[in-house]
Structure 1
């Protein structure tokens, strides 16, 4: 039986209808020209800066709770210019749709959390409110690695925002409700019910920022294309997760995943403040050694079994200043062995911070050397 928790999720069916976003590592040099993986684009949390209104009424029926919570669920439409730029004409066309959740109202504005893959590559984002009214949305910021994005719209006509619950308290068997827009806005506000299948999973995913291990809540509440960015809600009406992924394979049913609220809150706070998530930056493009044709690694010593190959270098980065070159192979960081690009990112983002020094063990052909550099702030390692 396949082990879904240790492989890359290659089919995610909770994404944007009518589109297939590329969520893979792409080498930018001729060292490794691989075809990107294509996927169907699918704390205690009490911060007064994030939450303003709640749907917590202990005596409410499930229907009452859903009626209230649904007012905070929106449709998110991704538009791109389908015109001929060489002919000088422009025509915005809807590329796909997803879902979003209003989580904060601040005076004249309301803030919406959704998935990055719902709006990625958009030139215009439009939000459809629960009553069918449409509004242009301002993109505050995104983070491809964690698949989150924050939008801002006028608060006119909006009177409900969902309160974040404590995702650390969910247990297997807890009842949950998913609300979103499966298949299209034609089915907007669709409600499905299920349970928490597992409160904490780690799944390997491919994103446009590289391979990553995502912490998720597993649920059997039905999640379909278009549900991405929608709400996973507990029986108190609290937002405990953002629906993001599902496994869609023959013989597989009821395996969906949501980003836990306790992970979402600090990320959306930072995105709202800075427009992005600040992470340590080396300045290199990477490919896993295991994926590289033998001709590029034939001179490595036999004892080198894992690592990453440098596919391109930001000329203004710390990596460039430290003397890293394309086709160099990194096998360790700060004396910790690195088997693949995901392990490198995990160590970099969890163990180090901007301004720290990093010591890389590097092979150029058969020659082994140590490269030291100071981590800067920029975009995540690609």
Structure 2
């Protein structure tokens, strides 16, 4: 009996020893595995709680890295954008002015006088230069078009009469000048060619009139080199194609001629137009300053923009019924585009080159011309007065070629 009892106790002791050792070993291994795996679990965000580890050495490394970055040439345009925008507005707001278009009107007796003058519209302008006690302002041509008098309203509500130096309908730009005694600041020109899509910008102007003078809207550059057809004579056909910047900064009537500035406070565009339709939103456009500057210089110097002159009245072939393509103009079946010469001015370059009514121009200097818009843009943008222009055209079904020496015409 004693032997049985001793044997039973020994078995129990051995049993306890049998499970205790593996348990301890497993516990130690588990702790080691958890310690090794914990950083990976934290980085992978698998834990339901956050673990923050402060490391003095790491903080010193980050500070050193930040110091190294500060010594480089790179800079950010998106840090603390709210306060940066506020600083920009404070720096340039006084350079944006109101432009008032005053036109003569007739009374019921068909007479007109200064007392009958009335405000036809308002827009915006930007002071960009002071020279010889005169301040120069750039605005849109359509803002001052048809005005008998133009007045400028400064940020402090001081109102003075302006002199129109010149304007250009095709680029929709005009230059005004006023006495510089009321001007304390001018805006700096930026570089629109170096803009990036997505870059933040501010639009400053007078939407809906002087009641909301100095309004600021914020957005981004949504696109560059957008081509917008323009119907300048309101005949339902495009006469020109404006190359503009697209922005989602709100641009409304009255903003025209105002400033589009970057986050350095530099003028990078002249607010010009928007697409207003129920189904669209945030489609505003501005004239790039790099495109505007040569025009501004010409307007300052000459009061007008000089462009190549051919001397024809053009008409797009696509605007004529196809019946006349073969039956009246005698064009080959494969000719589906071009510019009809509707009239030739006497002693003009076209007249001296031998062009006649109903000739159909299809190429200029080897470049295909499909409509009036392309013909104008090639003449105005790709040629200079005095240059020779090779014209390829159809007459009575035959392809012919002639050369014209372009003259100058001021617009």
- The TM-score normalised by the length of structure 1 is 0.78
CA contact (8 A) 2:138 2:176 kept: yes
Match of 1:76 in 2: 99
C-alpha separation between the residues in 1 aligned to 2:289 and 2:312?
A: 31
1:86 to 1:363, Cα distance in 2 relative to 1, 3 A: farther
Name whichever structure is richer in helix by fraction: 2
Runs of 4+ in structure 1 deviating by more than 6 angstroms, as ranges, are none
1:140-168 residue CA offsets vs partner (Å, 9 max, x unmatched): 11111111111111112111110011112
Aligned match for 1:333, one of 364, 370, 385: 364
Return the alpha-carbon distance in structure 1 between the equivalents of residues 393 and 109 of structure 2. 46
| Higher alpha-carbon deviation: 169-178 or 222-231 | 169-178
- 1:176 counterpart (201, 210, 218): 201
Which 5+ residue runs of structure 2 have no aligned equivalent? 1-80
1:226-237 correspondence to structure 2 within 5 Å? 226-237=254-265
Aligned residue number for residue 39 of structure 2 = none
Over alpha carbons, which structure has the higher Rg? 2
Please give the alpha-carbon distance, in whole angstroms, between the structure 1 residues aligned to 2:213 and 2:344.
44
Match of 2:333 among 292, 302, 315: 302
Structure 2 partner of 1:211:
239
Q: What is the 5 A alignment of 1:125-274? A: 125-208=150-233, 211-274=239-302
Could you tell me which of 110, 119, 134 is aligned with 2:144? 119
Equivalent residues of 1:145, 1:208 under 8 A apart: no
Higher strand share: 1
1:245 and 1:215 map into 2 onto residues whose CA distance is: 12
In the alignment, the residues of structure 2 paired with residue 130 and residue 311 of structure 1 have an alpha-carbon distance, to the nearest angstrom, of 50
Indicate how the Cα distance of structure 1 residues 82 and 313 shifts in structure 2: closer, same or farther if over 3 A, else same: farther
Q: Is 1:95 the counterpart of 2:120 in the alignment?
A: yes
**Any idea what the Cα deviations from partners look like across 1:233-262, whole Å, max 9, x if unmatched?**
111111110011211122110011111111
The structure showing larger relative contact order (alpha-carbon pairs under 8 Å, at least 6 residues apart) is 1
Does 1:370 find its partner at 2:401?
yes
| Contact 1:178-1:191 at 8 Å conserved across structures | yes
In the alignment, is residue 314 of structure 1 matched against residue 342 of structure 2? no
In the other structure, the counterpart of 2:307 is 279
Partners of 2:229 and 2:347 in 1: CA distance = 31
Shift of residue 64, structure 1, vs aligned partner: 3.1
* Aligned-residue offset at 1:272: 0.6
Q: How many residues align?
A: 323
RMSD value, Cα: 2.4
CA distance in structure 1 between the aligned counterparts of 2:184 and 2:397, rounded to whole angstroms: 64
Please tell me whether the aligned partners of residues 99 and 229 of structure 1 are also in contact (alpha carbons under 8 angstroms): yes
Q: Which runs of 5+ in 1 are unaligned?
A: 1-57
Match of 1:352 among 383, 388, 393: 383
What is the DSSP-based 3-state SS (H/G/I as helix, E as strand, rest coil) of the residue aligned with 1:135?
A: strand
The 3-state SS of whatever aligns with 1:204 is strand
**How far apart are 1:329 and its partner, in Å?**
2.0
Of residues 199-208 and 137-146 in structure 1, the stretch that sits farther from structure 2 once superposed is: 199-208
Distance 1:335 1:65, change over 3 A: closer
- Give how far 1:128 is off: 1.2
CA–CA distance in structure 2, aligned partners of residues 249 and 215 of structure 1:
21
